[in-house]
Structure 1
């Protein structure tokens, strides 16, 4: 039997570190679109050149080289545009480094799994915690070749990481590879070229606190007027003083518009990004800002009124409400979503499921408990072998996106989110809660039971103990209905706490349908153990006298 790993303690998830809103630039003139494309293409060329310099520097890059890059870009644009480009380049290089590390970890997991399975005899069965040998000699031979392939890839990736080499494509590697599969993507070469140029443009500026409306480069007034500080080579296109170009379109942020307006009115930093959607033929402006870290709600306060345990699945969220003692309350609920189709459709499905869950929690003033899931180590195809359907199921679960959206949306409604260790929640929930919670009119699933396990772990209660008590059986009869038990709605199998006054006293006699025939004084010595004829009690050793036997002989039988 395998050892049970140590379970991490639950914690309150911190709130979002920033916010972002987006609106469409409506009623742009042809001249406005032309200016935006010219500015974006120029700055995109400078960004590609700066990224090449940053990648060539590798791990030897320092503050002096950063300043040199910025001085070089300032000559062809402006100081603020150069600052925005160099910061975006640095962020892109850092993101590539994190992706490189994740790729190395995935290769290491694949190499370990294949090496372990190759060391086992062909056909040997695996256990629940470790895979077995390969099924056939042909599969063993194919995997031995794949082991050499992955080992070479791992060696090359490690060598690149040691010297600081990263592989970055401005515009996206996926879109670049689409150029070789235009027919499968249902695109023509001009359509692909238009999309490629739009992705490589650079039209974003970081905010500055204390400056007018929070941004000097891309400025948006509280009324929605958008103006851009043109780079030096395009200053002749300005239609406003100080080398600025004012767009004919205005923006109006319907979502979080008050927050954005409060920031720009107070001249607090707001970053902007302008991009073109070539499929729809529209231009959009995105505003973003950082939120200072706030002190999270204590864990005890989040547990005060109970909470809602949520189990994340491939097509739905299974939720069950629990009180502060860890007892399931009411009926389980499901919030389904469909993860097929486009990315926009999937994102809308996730948001719709989360908002229904959050509204339910808001109505009952409850916190939400979720699993701190991470399938990074489980998505390698070497771990699950031929189970392609299961691998696809795990890869399709939007764990990180769902968690990020849940935290952000919960913060807007003032709902606390508690994260718990996902170890054994599904297994122990089905083992200890699914059957006790099953009734005549309720058939909880394994996912519903897992939601109860998640909620109990978030409340600090053990999962494998504290299952609902079974009905008390007395002389073949089950416990009476709730309102026919002692203390009215109480249950006679519930024990009082050690600090409850009178817990050892006699049970009060309450007139009712089950006590009307009990005479007065009945049970007066119920709590006096010495008065009971039980083993190891003094009553057993009191003096007593056996009554005389009365025997009657009838047909040779003896009757007492």
Structure 2
């Protein structure tokens, strides 16, 4: 049944607004489950393709950088062949559900559902769990409507914080305010972006609200949300006018370093840690706190641009890609790349800071190779992540990651080290391989090589045809 059909069925029993609100909540949940199902099918297909490719290769065959080789032993080959059958069964089941339009939705979350079977480990009892389970369904929400009073006709919040709810016809007897509205006790107060919310409410611009109950704190919460218009694009030269801050994302912290307009590190590196253990709300709060500190530091430094890596581990954290590297898989899975990217984009836009996404290829390796040792001293140890932040910032500015070359030695020999001369930034093709210079590059050229290889007679070489001719010296005259 489509969303519009369900709304029309429910409208006579309540009202058009409440029917749209109730059906939209379930429709959004179904759409999220549908997207997760499609992503799960894609991961299964990728894993099956990887296992089949490795099973087709001989045992012990070496792989390349882009494709892994065969399995190491016969036992591993046998275990992976069994796993291939398991994944194929899961894929067949997921495809059947997708074609039939069946999704699995747990109102309240799968983790809370599994807690019912492990009450002792969760240090709770059935009554408390039941209270949390039912409270997950105690919510109501309504989308905003531009032009209506205070931006919402169903759930209305006045600028002074008074909340009033438009009751449907079957619940009209519970109204305690004119025009069939219910005004609960207490007033709402928005500590975050309260002035922006007040400006929208006074202008009758659309504001969506959601009311839910927190069992652990015993409070009702009112959440307001609205759509922010997209920020205008800022020219790259204007964003980089005061330098840039390179940020390296890691599993437990953000490593940042400020760079001036010439790509040189300025000041000391900064680290913004966060803890991604615990509940979803705790992890989200940790990410927001770290990003808030980063943005405040950027504003204090007068920098209007932050450079980050365009990371995406959606299809890169499967077991079949990294094999036995379990700790590395856990590290990659623990990095909140999508959450950090979305949060940083929205929060930086509110602060007037531009976010520049750069290519993440070899930033950590080249940063450690060219910047970690030069930036370290006896009193300061530069980490690999700090050096990667410098590499990210230089790439955002358009500078090469390599450091400025050393001056030429006092002579042409290699006594002072090899020359590392780089082309200037205005030379086209400076990052390309060096062109092949025709002719020999060493003093000893084998026969058949060089500019004069065809004329051996004109050169003083062993094997010259002139050396094999018979000749006789004329006698010197003894008298005039």
TM-score bucket (shorter structure):
0.7 to 0.9
**Is it true that 1:296 corresponds to 2:296 in the alignment?**
no
Give the TM-score taking structure 1 as reference length.
0.69
User: Hey, what's the Cα distance between the residues in 2 that align with 1:496 and 1:281?
Assistant: 65
The match for 1:403 is 341
Counterpart secondary structure, 2:96? helix
What is aligned with 1:107? Answer: 44
Equivalent position of 2:298 in the other structure: 361
Q: Whole-Å Cα distance in 2 between the matches of residues 422 and 328 of structure 1? A: 19
Alignment partners' CA distance in 2, 1:293 and 1:349: 26
The yes-or-no answer on 1:266 pairing with 2:203 is yes
- TM-superposed CA distance for 1:313, in Å, is 0.9
Written as runs of structure 1 = structure 2, the 5 A alignment for 1:212-227 is 212-227=149-164
Shift of 1:442: 4.1
Task: Summarize the Cα distance change of 1:136–1:398 in structure 2 as closer, same or farther, 3 Å threshold.
Answer: same
Question: How far apart are residue 138 of structure 1 and its match?
Answer: 2.9
Q: Does structure 2 retain, via aligned residues, the 8 Å contact 1:207–1:271?
A: yes
Counterpart CA distance in 2 for 1:234 and 1:219 is 17
**2:377 counterpart of 1:424:** no
1:455 equivalent in structure 2: 393
**Secondary structure of residue in 1 paired with 2:190:** coil
2:12 to 71, 75, 80: 75
Q: What is the deviation of 1:469?
A: 2.9
Equivalent residue for 2:478? none
Match of 1:433? Answer: 371
Correspondence 1:351 to 2:292:
no
Deviations 1:272-305 (A, max 9, x none): 1111111222111101111122312122221222
Give the conservation status (yes or no) of the 8 Å contact 2:209–2:225.
yes
Following the alignment from structure 1 to structure 2, what is the Cα–Cα distance between the partners of residues 116 and 169?
36
Name the residue aligned to 2:308. Answer: 370
Q: Could you say which residue in structure 2 is the equivalent of 1:17?
A: none
- Is the Cα contact below 8 Å between 1:436 and 1:468 reproduced in 2? no
Pick from 174, 177, 181: which aligns with 1:240? Answer: 177
Alpha-carbon distance, 1:453 to partner: 1.5
How far apart in 1 are the matches of 2:45 and 2:124? 37
Tell me how far apart the structure 2 counterparts of residues 369 and 496 of structure 1 sit (CA, whole Å): 23
Q: Mean alpha-carbon deviation: is it higher for 311-320 or for 167-176? A: 167-176
In the TM superposition, what is the alpha-carbon distance from 1:157 to its structure 2 partner? 2.1
Q: The residue matched to 1:200 in structure 2 has which SS?
A: coil
**Contact conserved, 1:240 with 1:246, CA < 8 A, in 2?**
yes
Number of aligned residues? 417
Superposition TM-score, scaled by structure 2 size: 0.80
Q: CA deviation at 1:497?
A: 9.8
Measured in 2, the distance between the counterparts of 1:497 and 1:198 equals 62
Counterpart CA distance in 2 for 1:346 and 1:177 is 20
Q: Is the 8 A contact 2:44 2:91 kept in 1?
A: yes
User: Per the alignment, in what secondary structure is the counterpart of residue 121 of structure 2?
Assistant: helix
User: Where do residues 130-529 of structure 1 align in structure 2 (5 Å cutoff)?
Assistant: 130-366=67-303, 367-463=305-401, 465=402, 467-470=403-406
Unaligned stretches of 5+ residues in structure 1: 1-56, 476-492, 499-560
How far residue 420 of structure 1 moved from its aligned partner, in angstroms, is 1.1
Distance 1:436 1:365, change over 3 A: same
Change (3 A) 1:113 1:336: same
Counterpart in the other structure of 1:507: none
Deviation at 1:212, TM superposition (A): 1.1
Q: Is the 8 A contact 1:121 1:133 kept in 2?
A: yes
**Alignment RMSD (CA, Å):** 2.6
Partner of 1:19: none
State the Cα distance separating 1:257 from its structure 2 match: 0.7
Q: SS at the partner of 1:120? A: coil
Give unmatched runs, 5+ long, in structure 2: 412-420, 427-480
Aligned residues of 2:250 and 2:335 also touching (Cα < 8 A): yes
For 1:497 and 1:406, the matched residues in 2 are separated by: 31
* Pairing 1:114-129 to 2, within 5 Å after superposition: 114-129=51-66
Comparing both chains, which one has the higher relative contact order based on Cα–Cα distances under 8 Å and sequence gaps of 6 or more? 1
Kindly indicate whether the alpha-carbon contact (under 8 Å) linking 1:209 and 1:268 is maintained by their aligned counterparts in 2. yes
Contact in 2 for aligned 1:204/1:274 (Cα 8 Å): yes
For 2:270 and 2:180, the matched residues in 1 are separated by 58
Give 3-state SS (helix, strand or coil) of 2:120's partner. helix
Change (3 A) 1:494 1:461: closer
Counterpart CA distance in 1 for 2:293 and 2:178 is 49
CA deviations over 1:286-340 (Å, ceiling 9, x no partner): 0111112231212222122220111011122111222223222233222222333
Inter-CA distance 67–169: structure 2 relative to 1 (3 Å threshold): same
Deviates more, 1:299-308 or 1:323-332: 323-332
Would you say the 8 A contact 2:257–2:270 is kept in 1? yes
- Give deviations 1:257-282, integer Å, cap 9, x for gaps: 11111111111111111111112221
Shift of 1:73: 0.9
Aligned mates of 1:340, 1:125 — CA distance in 2 = 38
Q: Hey, what does 1:539 align to over in structure 2? A: none
Deviation, structure 1 residue 248: 1.0
C-alpha displacement at 1:472, in angstroms? 6.1
CA displacement at 1:99 relative to structure 2: 1.1
Distance 1:77 1:147 in 2: 51
- CA apart distance, 1:434: 2.6
Equivalent-residue separation in structure 1 for 2:27 and 2:79 (angstroms):
41
